[in-house]
C-alpha cells in the first residue's frame, strides 16, 4: 500500500493537533477520479434508527407459544387485549430490558464473583470518502458505549463488514483493506485487538464491530446516580451530521449547496468537515478514565437521537427525581448558522440532530468539572476539549433545552 494512499501516519498521529488531514485521492489507487465511498450508503438513511416504540414491539417474546405449536400441541387463541398485555411484559431475551434504550451496552450478570461481561455492538455506513479514516471512525464509534459506562479496557474486538455488491473488483480490493486497517489501528490505539469477525456481501457498504470487556464492579460506572447540583459535561462538539451533509452537497454541487454557497465559503465548509472527521476519529477513552478520577455519576454517548434525545434516555434512568437543564451547545464552527439557513431541517438547534461517533454526556460533581476539563486538554492537547453545557436539578426525569448559547468549536 502506498504511503500516501490516505492520511499519512504522521498526519494521523497529529490529527488532534491542528495537522491537516490529507484528502483521499482515488487517482493514487488507479480508481476513477470521481470515486466516492459515501455513494455506497445514503447519509440520510444512516441517521435513522428503528423507532423506540417499534423496537419495543419487535423485542417482545412470543417464542413459548410458537414452540408449543411447533411441537404439534393445540394452543387456544389468545385475545388481542391479552396479547398486548403479554407483549408489554415479556422481553424476547431473558434479562434484556428494552426500557433501558439509549444504551447499546449489554451488562451480563456476574460471571464469577465480582466479574462482569460488558459487551457492545454497533455499525455505520460510509460517512466520509477516506476509507482508512472511515475504519477508524467505525472503531471509535463501537467503543463509545463501553466508555460511557466507564469501562476503559476493551479485552476483545470483532469486526463486522459488509462489502457492497455495487463496488467493482478493483474498488473492493483497494478500499476494503484500507477500511480494515483503519479499524484495526484504532483498536490498537485503544489498547484492544481485533481477533476475528464476520464479513458478508450486501448492496450497502457497512463497517462496525463488537467490543467486549470482562471487568469488576469497580471498573463500571452506572448511568443512574446523578444528584441535584451536578453539572453536565460534553466531550465532543455537536454538528457532525450537518458538517458531513453540507460538505457532501458542496463536493457534488447539489442543488441544496446552491442555496448556501453565497453565504458560506467553501473553505469554511471544508474546515468544518475537517473538524468533524477529527472529532469522530477521537476516542472517548481519556474521558472514561477521568470519569473514575473525578467521581462521575453517570454518562451516555451522544448518537443517533441527538443531544436531547440521548439526554432524555439518560434522565429517565436516574434513581433520584432529577431533570437536566441544558444552557450551552458547543457546535462545530458555522454549523449552527448553516443549520438555521436550512430552516433547521437537521433539528440541530432543537438538540435532535444525529451525531456520529459522538461525545460523552457526563453527570459530574460541580466542584470537579473545571479540573476534569483542564485535564482533558493536558492529556490530549488543546484540540480535545470538554464543555460544561448544563446542570442537574430536582425534577421529573426530563430534559430542558433553555435557549442554549452556541459555543463555536474551532479546533
DSSP string over 235-293: SS-B-HHHHHHHHHHHHHT-HHHHHHTTTS-HHHHHHHHHHHHHHHHS-SHHHHHHHHH
For 51-107, what is each residue's pLDDT tens digit? 666 766 666 654 444 444 444 444 455 455 555 444 444 444 444 444 444 445 666
Alpha carbon distance 404, 382 (integer Å): 24
Structural domain span for residue 311: 230-409
Average pLDDT over residues 353-359: 97
Indicate if the pLDDT at residue 226 is higher than 60. yes
Of 311, 410, 395, which Cα lies nearest the Cα of 351? 311
Indicate if the pLDDT at residue 151 is higher than 90. yes
CATH code (residue 256): 3.90.650.10
For 254-266, what is each residue's pLDDT tens digit? 999 999 999 999 9
Half-sphere exposure in the Cβ direction for 345 (13 Å, CA): 9
- Tell me the pTM: 0.85
Average pLDDT over residues 335-360: 95
pLDDT at 315: 98
Alpha carbon distance 206, 200 (integer Å): 9
- Give the chain's domain count: 2
Indicate if the pLDDT at residue 209 is higher than 80. yes
pLDDT at 21: 61
For 16-38, what is each residue's pLDDT tens digit? 433 346 778 999 999 999 999 99
Decide: 370 and 215 in contact? Cβ < 8 Å.
no
CA angle 313, 91, 207 (to 5 degrees): 60
Percentage of the chain modeled with pLDDT above 70: 78
pLDDT at 22: 73
Looking at the domain assignment, is residue 61 inside a domain? no
H-helix or E-strand spanning residue 339: helix 335-341
Minimum mean pLDDT range among 34-43, 154-163, 309-318: 34-43
Q: What strand order describes the sheet that includes 194-202?
A: 105-107, 115-124, 206-216, 156-164, 194-202
**Residue 77 DSSP one-character state:** P
Q: Are residues 239 and 366 both part of a single domain?
A: yes
Looking at the domain assignment, is residue 358 inside a domain? yes
Range 230-247 burial, b when 16+ CB lie within 10 A, else e: bbbbbbbbbbbbbbbbbb
Q: Are residues 363 and 235 both part of a single domain?
A: yes
Indicate if the pLDDT at residue 6 is higher than 80. no
Q: Are residues 353 and 234 both part of a single domain?
A: yes
Amino acid at each position: 500500500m502506498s504511503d500516501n494512499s490516505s492520511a499519512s501516519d504522521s498526519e494521523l498521529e497529529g490529527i488532534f493537533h491542528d495537522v491537516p488531514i490529507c484528502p483521499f485521492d482515488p487517482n493514487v489507487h488507479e480508481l476513477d477520479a470521481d470515486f466516492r465511498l459515501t455513494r455506497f450508503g445514503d447519509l440520510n438513511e444512516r441517521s435513522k434508527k428503528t423507532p423506540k416504540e417499534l423496537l419495543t414491539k419487535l423485542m417482545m417474546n412470543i417464542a413459548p407459544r410458537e414452540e408449543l405449536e411447533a411441537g404439534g400441541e393445540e394452543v387456544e387463541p389468545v385475545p388481542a387485549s391479552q396479547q398486548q398485555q403479554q407483549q408489554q411484559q415479556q422481553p424476547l431475551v431473558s434479562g434484556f430490558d428494552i426500557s433501558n434504550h439509549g444504551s447499546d451496552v449489554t451488562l451480563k450478570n456476574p460471571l464469577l464473583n465480582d466479574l462482569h461481561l460488558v459487551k457492545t455492538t454497533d455499525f455505520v455506513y460510509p460517512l466520509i470518502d477516506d476509507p482508512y479514516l472511515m475504519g477508524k471512525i467505525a472503531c471509535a464509534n463501537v467503543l463509545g458505549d463501553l466508555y460511557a459506562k466507564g469501562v476503559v479496557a476493551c479485552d476483545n474486538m470483532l469486526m463486522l463488514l459488509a462489502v457492497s455488491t455495487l463496488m467493482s473488483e478493483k474498488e473492493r480490493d483497494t478500499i476494503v483493506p484500507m477500511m480494515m486497517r483503519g479499524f484495526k489501528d484504532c483498536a490498537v490505539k485503544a489498547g484492544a485487538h481485533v481477533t476475528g469477525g464476520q464479513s458478508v456481501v450486501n448492496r450497502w457498504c457497512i463497517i462496525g464491530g463488537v467490543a467486549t470487556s470482562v471487568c469488576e464492579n469497580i471498573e463500571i460506572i452506572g448511568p443512574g446516580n446523578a444528584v441535584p447540583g451536578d453539572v453536565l459535561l460534553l466531550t465532543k462538539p455537536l454538528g457532525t451530521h450537518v458538517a458531513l451533509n453540507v460538505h457532501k452537497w458542496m463536493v457534488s454541487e447539489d442543488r441544496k449547496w446552491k442555496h448556501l454557497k453565497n453565504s458560506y465559503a467553501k473553505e469554511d465548509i471544508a474546515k468544518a468537515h475537517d473538524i468533524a472527521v477529527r472529532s469522530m476519529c477521537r476516542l472517548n477513552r481519556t474521558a472514561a478514565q477521568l470519569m473514575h478520577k473525578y467521581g462521575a455519576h453517570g454518562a451516555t454517548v451522544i448518537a443517533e437521537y441527538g443531544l436531547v434525545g440521548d439526554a432524555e434516555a439518560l434522565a429517565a434512568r436516574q434513581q433520584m427525581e432529577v431533570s437536566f437543564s441544558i444552557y450551552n451547545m458547543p457546535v462545530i464552527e458555522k454549523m449552527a448558522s448553516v443549520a438555521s439557513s436550512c430552516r433547521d431541517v437537521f433539528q440541530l438547534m432543537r438538540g435532535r440532530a444525529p451525531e456520529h461517533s459522538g461525545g460523552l454526556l457526563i453527570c459530574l460533581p460541580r466542584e470537579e468539572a473545571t479540573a476534569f476539563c483542564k485535564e482533558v486538554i493536558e492529556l490530549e492537547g488543546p484540540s480535545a476539549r470538554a464543555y460544561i453545557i448544563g446542570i442537574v436539578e430536582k425534577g421529573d426525569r426530563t430534559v430542558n433545552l433553555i435557549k442554549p448559547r452556541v459555543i463555536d468549536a474551532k479546533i
